[in-house]
Structure 1
Amino acid sequence: MYGINQRCVYISFHFFVLWCHAQGENHPSPNFKQYVRTQGAVTDQLSRRQVRVYQLYSRTSGKHVQIPGPRVSATAEDGNLFARLFVETDTFGSRVRIRGAESGRYLCMNRKGKLVGKSQSAQDMMC
């Protein structure tokens, strides 16, 4: 009889330990939206950088967008060197930058909402 009581105490003790262990591992699920939001705001030096070459066509003018300097226009013919644009990603999120292949200037908007070509600097990277 003494052996059966010891077994019951032993089994009860193990169930109690398992129950306590299960209570301690009840963690909330991670918030991936917050992670993507914070990681997408900074430049990611570890991920593979994507760069593709495009030409943007304007239906209004019937020509291609070009960035020869600070002024952006849609007056370039197909194959124009200033109409070649690099679309590049360097963050975890889905943010892209458009850069003129020949001029090296980035396609940005000024405060009035007009498209302009800006050279690369630390303060202009948010354009």
Structure 2
Amino acid sequence: MRASAIFTRPLSGGFGFPLGFAVGVVVAVAAVAAGATSHPAGALIAFTVAVAGVAAVTTPGAAVGTAAVCWALDSGFVLGRQGGLVFTGAALQAAVALLMAAVVVAVLARVVRRSGRWGRA
């Protein structure tokens, strides 16, 4: 089997969402350890990259679920700092950015998969 054949179908949501959850937790721990509570934009960038990465390899539902988990982690541990969700302007901006990343990358990944050009030179 060619290596590019792995990416012709997305990971099932039953595997993609737990993968996204785990990636989100790792990003949250790393961001807080790196001092993102005083620079929340850096944490948002890291969460957005994580969501985009998961969205590229899994289903749209798992990508949106990952965005929701990453928003909760960002809101609760970076913006809120104590695990309680906060609903501020920054939290709303984070929700929009993460949801947009999930949807845009999931759609692009689907287009690439359907075109059959994933992995071709």
Structures share a fold, TM > 0.5? no
**Structure whose residues are more often helix by fraction:** 2
**Higher-RCO chain (CA-CA 8 Å, sequence separation at least 6):** 2
What is the TM-score normalised by the length of structure 1?
0.29
